[in-house]
Amino acid sequence: MNSPSCPIPLPADSHAAPPPSHLGVPNTPLVDRRLTELDWLRVIAFGLLILYHVGMFYVSWDWHVKSPRPLVALESGMVWLNPWRMSLLFLIGGAALALMAERGQAGLLGLRSKRLLLPLIFGMIVIVPPQSYLEVVEKLHYSGSYLDFLSLYFQAYHGFCRDGHCLKLPTWNHLWFLPYLWVYSMVGLLALKASRWTTHAGWARLASGTRLLWVPWLLFALLRQHWMAQHPVTHDLVNDPYNHALSFSMFVLGMALFGHRDDRHGAWAAARQWRWLALGLAVAAQVGFTEWVAAYGESEIPQADLMALRSLSAARQWLPIVAALGWARQLLSHRDGPALRWLSMAVFPFYIVHQTVTVVSAHALAPLQWPLALEVSAVVAITALGCLLAAWLTMRLNWLRPWMGVAPRPAHGKPGSASARASARASARASA
Average model confidence (pLDDT) for the chain?
90
The burial class, CB within 10 Å (0-12 / 13-18 / 19+), for 51 is middle
d(CA 414, CA 271): 41
- Which has the higher per-residue pLDDT, 31 or 144? 144
- Please tell me what DSSP assigns to residue 227: I
Contact indicator for 266, 208 with CB cutoff of 8 Å: yes
Rg (CA), the chain: 22
Provide the 10 A C-beta neighbour count for residue 22.
8
Say if residue 411's pLDDT is above 80.
Answer: no
Report the pLDDT value the prediction gives residue 163, as an integer from 0 to 100.
87
Contact indicator for 34, 96 with CB cutoff of 8 Å: no
Over residues 133-141, the mean pLDDT reads 97
d(CA 221, CA 245): 12
The amino acid at residue 349 is P
* pLDDT band at 20; cut points 50, 70, 90: very low
d(CA 201, CA 121): 40
Contact indicator for 144, 196 with CB cutoff of 8 Å: no
Secondary structure class of 62 (helix, strand, coil): coil
Report the pLDDT value the prediction gives residue 34, as an integer from 0 to 100.
84
- Which has the higher per-residue pLDDT, 422 or 69? 69
Report the pLDDT value the prediction gives residue 32, as an integer from 0 to 100.
56
Over residues 409-431, the mean pLDDT reads 54
Report the pLDDT value the prediction gives residue 10, as an integer from 0 to 100.
45
Over residues 106-128, the mean pLDDT reads 96
Residue 136, H or E segment: helix 129-140
Polymer length of the chain: 432
Report the pLDDT value the prediction gives residue 30, as an integer from 0 to 100.
55
Q: How far is CA 5 from CA 131, 237, 360, 363, in A?
A: 11, 10, 17, 19
Contact indicator for 267, 258 with CB cutoff of 8 Å: yes
In terms of Cα–Cα distance, which of 40, 39, 88, 60 is closest to 318?
88
Over residues 290-301, the mean pLDDT reads 92
Long-range contacts of 185-188 (CB under 8 A, 24+ apart): 185/93, 185/97, 185/112, 185/116, 186/109, 186/112, 186/113, 187/248, 188/94, 188/97, 188/98, 188/251, 188/252, 188/255
In terms of Cα–Cα distance, which of 94, 263, 249 is closest to 186?
94
Say if residue 421's pLDDT is above 60.
Answer: no
Provide the 10 A C-beta neighbour count for residue 135.
23
d(CA 65, CA 8): 10
Residue 198 β-bridge partners: none
Contact indicator for 379, 54 with CB cutoff of 8 Å: yes
* pLDDT band at 105; cut points 50, 70, 90: low
Contact indicator for 214, 206 with CB cutoff of 8 Å: no
**pLDDT tens per residue across span 145-177:** 999 999 999 999 999 999 888 999 999 999 999
Contact indicator for 329, 271 with CB cutoff of 8 Å: yes
pTM exceeds 0.75, yes or no = yes
Say if residue 425's pLDDT is above 80.
Answer: no
* pLDDT band at 25; cut points 50, 70, 90: very low
Average the pLDDT over each of 101-105, 151-155, 292-296, 338-342 and give the range with the smallest value: 101-105
Report the pLDDT value the prediction gives residue 7, as an integer from 0 to 100.
60
Residue 427 CA to chain centroid, in angstroms? 19
pLDDT above 70: percentage of residues in the chain = 87
Report the pLDDT value the prediction gives residue 198, as an integer from 0 to 100.
96
* pLDDT band at 424; cut points 50, 70, 90: low
- Please tell me what DSSP assigns to residue 197: G
Q: How far is CA 159 from CA 3, 63, 292, 371, in A?
A: 15, 19, 41, 37
* pLDDT band at 409; cut points 50, 70, 90: confident
Report the pLDDT value the prediction gives residue 304, as an integer from 0 to 100.
94
Over residues 398-424, the mean pLDDT reads 72
Say if residue 15's pLDDT is above 60.
Answer: no
Over residues 240-269, the mean pLDDT reads 97
d(CA 276, CA 399): 46
Residue 162 β-bridge partners: 165
**pLDDT tens per residue across span 356-394:** 999 999 999 999 999 999 999 999 999 999 999 999 999
Over residues 270-282, the mean pLDDT reads 98
Report the pLDDT value the prediction gives residue 167, as an integer from 0 to 100.
95
Q: Which are the contacts of 257, defined by CB distance < 8 A and separation ≥ 6? A: 95, 203, 206, 207, 212, 265, 267
Secondary structure class of 392 (helix, strand, coil): helix
Report the pLDDT value the prediction gives residue 80, as an integer from 0 to 100.
96
Report the pLDDT value the prediction gives residue 13, as an integer from 0 to 100.
40
pLDDT above 90: percentage of residues in the chain = 84
In terms of Cα–Cα distance, which of 375, 426, 370, 378 is closest to 401?
426
Over residues 311-339, the mean pLDDT reads 97
Report the pLDDT value the prediction gives residue 160, as an integer from 0 to 100.
97
Average the pLDDT over each of 12-26, 144-158, 257-271, 372-386 and give the range with the smallest value: 12-26
Say if residue 136's pLDDT is above 90.
Answer: yes
Secondary structure class of 142 (helix, strand, coil): coil
d(CA 123, CA 121): 5
Residue 161 β-bridge partners: 166
Report the pLDDT value the prediction gives residue 181, as an integer from 0 to 100.
98
